[in-house]
Structure 1
Amino acid sequence: MGAFGDILQGFQAVFSVYGILFILIGVLVGTVVGIMPGLGPITAIAVMIPVTYGMEPYLALFLMAGVYYGAIFGGSTSSILLNAPGAASTVASSFDGYPMAKNGEPGKALAIAAIASFVGGTVAVILTTLLAPLLAGFATSFGPPEYFALMFLGLTAIAALSEGSMVRALISATLGFMIATIGIDSQTGTSRYVLGSSNLLSGIDFLVVAMGLFAIGEVCYLIINRKNKLSDEMTKAFKLKLTKNDIKEMSGPMSRNSFLGFFIGILPGAGATIASFLAYLSEKKLSKNPESFGKGSIKGLTAPETANNAASTGSFIPLLSLGIPGSGTTALLLGALLVLGVQPGPGLIENDPQLFWGVIISMYIGNIFLLIINLPLVPYIARVLAIPRPLLISLVITFCLIGIYAVSFNTFDLYLLLLFGVLGFVMKKLAFPLAPFILAFILGEMMETALRQSLTLANGNWMVFVAKPVSVIMLTIAALLLISPLVMFIVKKFRNSQM
């Protein structure tokens, strides 16, 4: 009865007039911010923190949680329509979402993203309700060696994400890792590769790299390759056109990646970004037609959209149960909770069940609101592509410049944005895949930190990485994924020799 009574308190908090109102406001603000290139959940929550001063803690968290998963939900829109991901967790959605929009199906792509996001978020909320106390304990068993294994597994996605030469993919990933090391070393305090510039001491922000490579790089490509028309085909299909076969094709990735995203989301430090890339990787490996990925595959869009929303929901478990933020966004949420006088941790379920269970139940309502808001608006959102190409290109550049400057207020970042835009254009012209670059950039710093911490704890003994079954399993899978192209090449050559 104690647990039932606690959950009932959460229901009472959510189904009050203010509870419903703040959830609705949160998901609306989050969706709008997520749609804007250059902005993301961190920016949205940072703006909302002063608004929550003086509020009841549970209402403040309803609002900010709604902003968080609303921004993740809406962030796919700019990735799909403009190839301008505003957050790391929506980069993988652009791999097939943008080609689908270019192929004349922007409405279909947005509808797939909306439905997949709803399913992933809803399944994760159900799992959170059932497994939160148990999984919070499991997450604490992950130490630096396990995190290193997880990051290494993420980097093996290079082999699957590369469309052409694996050598080009590895070069791209190496370049991304090199960019990630720029700045002050967090462990030794020494500066690395800053070229005497104080602007590089804090490193290069993800938004600068992602929007430069994808958005500005795509703009450069469209300007120079005028034969590549943007609006003719892309603006024909605004309607929601999902057939029974489309739903059937989506069902497998949605069911698998709801669980994958959730379990990655509960790991402190992992989060929606790694979940979306691993989901994309796993679906490409499982697919009977992996060559269709990157060209508008339904599975290629469904997988990361499902996983990133499931992971963003799952990330509330370490935040609330352990007081450990899993990302920059949840770190802001942690700070907001502390300002409100709430101490997240193992005692939160017992000390403040209204807040703990209220947040979880609010996610059910928030996901329903998001689906109701987004699906009817798909034809209208997609009409952004009806804008004439010169005007659309100008708007994309403007949004990118404003978005980057609004984050740092540093004109140096604008120069870096243009530099990475040129780099993205050159890589695309030379057939170097961008996905390995951005994945290595995202995981590089975390992987380096986990590696150093592991070796420090083990006094330099490399066997620390095979000391626990979890890390052994992940490293084994990573090794198999890494050598799989070579094995397939040998098998194919052997079969040809036998014919």
Structure 2
Amino acid sequence: MDGIAQSLGIIFSLGGLGVLFIGALLGIVVGALPGLGPSIGLSLLIPFTYSMSPELSMLLMISLYVSAEYGGSISAILLSTPGTAAAAATAIDGYAMSQKGRANEAISISLTASTIGGILGGLALLLLAMPLAALALSFGPAGYFAVGLFGLTSVAALSGGSLIKGLLCAALGLALATVGIDPIAGTPRFTFGHFELYEGVPFLAALIGLFAVSEAFALAEKHARGQGMDKSGVGHVFMSLGLWRETWRSMLSGSVIGTLLGILPGVGGNIACWVARDYARARSKGSEAFGAGAPNGVAAPEAANNATVGGALVPMLALGVPGSPTTAIMMGALIMHGLHPGPQLFAEQPALVYAILLGVILAAVVQYIVGSIFLPVLARTVLLPDGVIAAGILCFAVLGAYAIRNLMFDVWLTMGFGVLGYMMKKFSFPVAPVILAMVLGYLIESNYRTALVSSRGDYTVFVTDPISVLFLLLSLASILVPIWRAWGPRGRTARRVSA
């Protein structure tokens, strides 16, 4: 109780509230700028925390982390330019709503869902840190492989009506995921002599190119032809009662999915957003609206994104194992202050631990307050002419691509992906499966091969591991349910009616 009282005194002090608001504002800006995101934002922030106490530095980092995960949705909704990798799923329905003049609704859903996800993820961190961390330890390579395979079954939902095209795009994404150093043998592959590819195809370069640059080309084309979009301003960020009733279940399910997947090291919001979106689509009565501007297609991934923050902090605090690249940076900051994350931290620094546990919840609330004040101003970018938006997207894309590793190679690679994405859109090939497969490729391959190495080539390791069996069955169900819907009695009836 002394630790809780001390932590509350720190949080509600002038310095504590100040760093929460500063972190929220910086996080929204960093998240909205393509190519930055929470990891880079925290990396740039660490030098400024040297002279701060551990409690205040952690509050500042947590606030930036939470708000940056949300900030990526702003550019995703208004410009089809995901500011963070985890906002890629939001861009699909969010941008479609913006094109239909419903940007106000999409922004309000995004902010509310992110806040709810952050609060519920923080509550899970506060109440279930030790038990959930123990559960994460039970996942072996076979289990992680099955989790990745389950995530890959979302391709069916992202194929835009053509499963064949979706599978081809997913195959392209998996092929891109094999570029770089072999995770088992340690030898370079498919790099064609370019040392810049030793770490693999930069994911942010592909993300910015396929989503942002391709959309800039499309907007420039529309501007040249005089084809304007239906645009609307954002006057407020408060959801209507009707939107609440329509989306609250997706917010809740996305929060639960984000929290659980956030606990698994290496999974995080990049995968949780797609799984949450696919689950919301599967249980929605109007699943055909997904991809064309479904409010639940914004609510579910946005709740999952922010819920992963609390989940990712569970293994870091309880076990000293970072649950995401961002929490690895936070661990480095703690070590810089002479502290070592793990079970001993609960006994040695209770005030710090509870400041972190309670800080996640309060950071989500502060994010909502800051977003409510500043978002109507930021959202006015949607009213700009298409040509101006296209030029702005290209500028931010180039800056974001160069900021990844300070290499012009990444800029040219981003432009190449932009041309590819533009051609894919022209020929109605879905872009999302490429990104999904790139995200899951390394997780699937490395754990698949590790499981086989550990079992000496015995494939039964995938059906003897209970966690692996569970997710393999879920993957099978995720594949068979869409097939049954399309070719079952209802599907045949629907095709006869449409004919």
Distance in 2 (alpha carbons) for counterparts of 1:229 and 1:456: 59
Assess, with a 3 A threshold, how the Cα gap between structure 1 residues 380 and 191 changes in structure 2: closer, same or farther.
same
8 A Cα contact 2:160 2:430, kept in partner: yes
Q: Deviations along 1:30-89, whole A, 9 cap, x unmatched?
A: 111112122211111010111111322122111111111111121110111111112211
Aligned partner of 2:78 in structure 1 is: 81
Aligned partner of 1:141 in structure 2 is: 138
Q: Say yes or no: does 1:463 pair with 2:465.
A: no
Q: Say yes or no: does 1:233 pair with 2:230.
A: yes
Assess, with a 3 A threshold, how the Cα gap between structure 1 residues 497 and 391 changes in structure 2: closer, same or farther.
closer
Structure 1 length as normaliser, TM-score? 0.95
Distance in 1 (alpha carbons) for counterparts of 2:5 and 2:146: 40
Matches within 5 A, 1:94-493: 94-226=91-223, 232-236=229-233, 238-240=235-237, 242-492=239-489
In the TM superposition, residue 103 of structure 1 has moved relative to its aligned partner by: 0.8
1:213 counterpart letter in structure 2: L
Bigger mean CA offset, 485-494 vs 342-351? 485-494
Distance in 2 (alpha carbons) for counterparts of 1:414 and 1:106: 30
2:199 counterpart letter in structure 1: S
Assess, with a 3 A threshold, how the Cα gap between structure 1 residues 387 and 420 changes in structure 2: closer, same or farther.
same
8 A Cα contact 1:261 1:309, kept in partner: yes
Bigger mean CA offset, 220-229 vs 66-75? 220-229
Q: Deviations along 1:451-494, whole A, 9 cap, x unmatched?
A: 11111221111111122322211110101212333333332476
8 A Cα contact 2:62 2:363, kept in partner: no
Distance in 1 (alpha carbons) for counterparts of 2:495 and 2:370: 58
Distance in 2 (alpha carbons) for counterparts of 1:388 and 1:394: 10
Q: Secondary structure at the match of 2:488?
A: helix
In the TM superposition, residue 246 of structure 1 has moved relative to its aligned partner by: 1.0
1:449 counterpart letter in structure 2: S
Distance in 2 (alpha carbons) for counterparts of 1:393 and 1:230: 14
Distance in 2 (alpha carbons) for counterparts of 1:228 and 1:242: 35
Assess, with a 3 A threshold, how the Cα gap between structure 1 residues 125 and 228 changes in structure 2: closer, same or farther.
farther
8 A Cα contact 1:231 1:385, kept in partner: no
1:219 counterpart letter in structure 2: A
Structure 1's unaligned 5+ residue stretches are none
Q: Deviations along 1:262-314, whole A, 9 cap, x unmatched?
A: 11111122111111110000011111111101111110100000011011221
Task: Report percent identity of matched pairs.
Answer: 37
Structure 2's unaligned 5+ residue stretches are none
Distance in 2 (alpha carbons) for counterparts of 1:196 and 1:130: 50
Structure 2 length as normaliser, TM-score? 0.95
Q: Let me know the Cα RMSD of the aligned residues.
A: 2.0
8 A Cα contact 2:142 2:451, kept in partner: yes
Distance in 2 (alpha carbons) for counterparts of 1:66 and 1:483: 41
Distance in 2 (alpha carbons) for counterparts of 1:274 and 1:110: 22
Q: Say yes or no: does 1:71 pair with 2:68.
A: yes
2:457 counterpart letter in structure 1: G
- How many residue pairs get aligned? The number is 496
Distance in 2 (alpha carbons) for counterparts of 1:281 and 1:106: 22
8 A Cα contact 1:79 1:91, kept in partner: yes
Assess, with a 3 A threshold, how the Cα gap between structure 1 residues 11 and 209 changes in structure 2: closer, same or farther.
same
Q: Deviations along 1:230-283, whole A, 9 cap, x unmatched?
A: 865213554447332111011111122211211111112211111111000001
Bigger mean CA offset, 15-24 vs 353-362? 15-24
Bigger mean CA offset, 458-467 vs 438-447? 458-467
